[in-house]
Amino acid sequence: MEHPHLPHPQGADAAGQVPEAVRHPPWLLWAAAGLALAMAIVALVGWTIDRGHVFGFDRSIMRAMRHAGNTALPIGPAWLEGLMIDITTLGGGTALTLVVVLTAGFLAVRRLWITAALVVAATALGSLAVDLAKLIVARPRPQVIDHLVEVSSMSFPSGHSANSAIVYLTIATLLAQVVDTRGARNFILVAAGLLVVAIGCSRVYLGVHWPTDVLAGWSFGTFWALGWWALGAWIRIKRSTG
């Protein structure tokens, strides 16, 4: 069994029948709602940006990341810049690809084929959706403060924020369902959430993303992960109930 904490045959009664609430859960509906909401958030904010709307807090927050009068000097102690660069690397394509490959490989070795396939599909399709949104909206990178790292793609939505949410939150929910204690599950979920938040904040600190890019990326990635998680639950329940 792939996930002992999900509704599945372990919840069957003594006669081997799966309870009605388990046979007909709204997992597919939640999956569709999560994926639709993820796309809607990006589409709405992207449409607003495409029509030339400027969010005032974008510039204010970015200017707050630098010392007054010097757009090249980041705020905070000297080591903070290096830390932010290290954190932002955890949301890059190379790091996330390695995490997905290693996770999918581990799941395959454990013969958890459905979960492995869902991890690969969710992350690959999510990344493609983010790239497509970047091409459609074509929002230039912010030039309010100096960039502390090199970037080449469009700005909206933040790929680091969206893809890290997709990858780390999906994996966290999987891990949370195979540990025995509530404390361990909470730690895994909170740690993943904090990592995703840190990666998004690093993009603004480094000057390469507007805050709205990051907010849209977080929202998209979170609801995308939840949508695929619900879809996975629906698939497993369908398989367990025949």
Active site residues: 160, 209
Three-class DSSP labels, the chain:
CCCCCCCCHHHCCCCCCCCHHHHCCCHHHHHHHHHHHHHHHHHHHHHHHHCCCCCHHHHHHHHCCEECCEEEEECCCHHHHHHHHHHHHCCCHHHHHHHHHHHHHHHHHCCCHHHHHHHHHHHHHHHHHHHHHHHHHCCCCCCCCCCCCCCCCCCCCCHHHHHHHHHHHHHHHHHHCCCCCHHHHHHHHHHHHHHHHHHHHHHHHCCCCCHHHHHHHHHHHHHHHHHHHHHHHHHHHHHHHC
- The label of the residue with tokens 């399709």 reads 125
What is the Cα 48 distance to its own chain's centre?
22
**Burial (Cβ within 10 Å: 0-12, 13-18, ≥19) of residue 44:** exposed
Reading the block at residue 111, the tokens are 């013969």
